[in-house]
Amino acid sequence: MLSSLTYAQDGANRGNLSSYYHEKLHFGFTIGVNRSNFVIQNAEHFERFDSLKWIHSSPKTGFNLGIVSELRLHEYVTLRFVPNLSFAERNLEFYVEGAYDTLTQKKTIESTFLNFPLDLKLRSKRVGNFGAYILGGWSYSLDLASKRKTQNAADPNEQIVKLKRDDFGYEVGAGVEFYLQYFKFAIEGKLSMGTKNLLIKDNTLYSNSIDKLNSKVFLISLTFEG
């Protein structure tokens, strides 16, 4: 009888951190690598910009540092708050037709974000020391390096693309978790899409040729929780 009861226990109870799913709060930290980009919607009647042929956004790599707080709502459902500091860089490339060939005007936009994502996390039943999860939620971002108040130069070569400081967005992601002897280690992938038009119109060729500019970020992170 004792032998039968032992084998009837959940696999998680025989692994590391066996009471993890039943604890109310968990804390930890996360580090990650991001790929930041823009979703561009060209201005109406784009053809009126005779010399401007097309606009392209190219992603750059940055990194994130954050603190994890997780509240248990149910054995398999948690509320997850991960405020983090993010360093990001993106390029906007404007292809302009010159006298003899096509010229590229590259505008690099560097940002330092404070992100405040709040996600609902649905986790699987543990199999020994392994688990998986999906999550989704909303996020608010504050760009500490925003140049929204900068006076633009008269020379087009010196002009910048100005963006708003605040952004809101939704995010979805998934991850896998490994329960070690003293802490839980997770690998997570997450996609964040901004819902706010970030572009500030200041009557330059670069801002007039774009109608909407939204953020798009893919993040791979490593998380350590006690």
Whether 21 and 74 have beta carbons less than 8 Å apart is answered as no
Most confidently predicted of 1-15, 38-52, 142-156: 142-156
pLDDT band, very low/low/confident/very high, at 9 (cuts 50, 70, 90): very low
Pairing of strands 102-123, 130-143: antiparallel
What pLDDT is stored for residue 3 in this prediction?
A: 42
Q: Give the model confidence (pLDDT) of 88-99 as tens digits.
A: 999 999 888 765
The token pair at 31 is 């580090």
pTM for the model? 0.85
Q: How much is the average pLDDT of 118-138?
A: 96
Helix (H, G, I), strand (E, B) or coil at 158: coil
Q: How much is the average pLDDT of 115-121?
A: 98
Query: Domain residue spans in the chain?
Result: 15-225
The top-level CATH class assigned to 15-225 is mainly beta
| 132 CB burial (10 A radius; 0-12, 13-18, 19+) | middle
Whether 164 and 146 have beta carbons less than 8 Å apart is answered as yes
By C-alpha distance, which of 166, 46, 69, 187 is closest to 111? Answer: 166
Q: Give the model confidence (pLDDT) of 133-173 as tens digits.
A: 999 999 999 999 988 888 887 787 788 899 999 999 999 99
The token pair at 163 is 């963006």
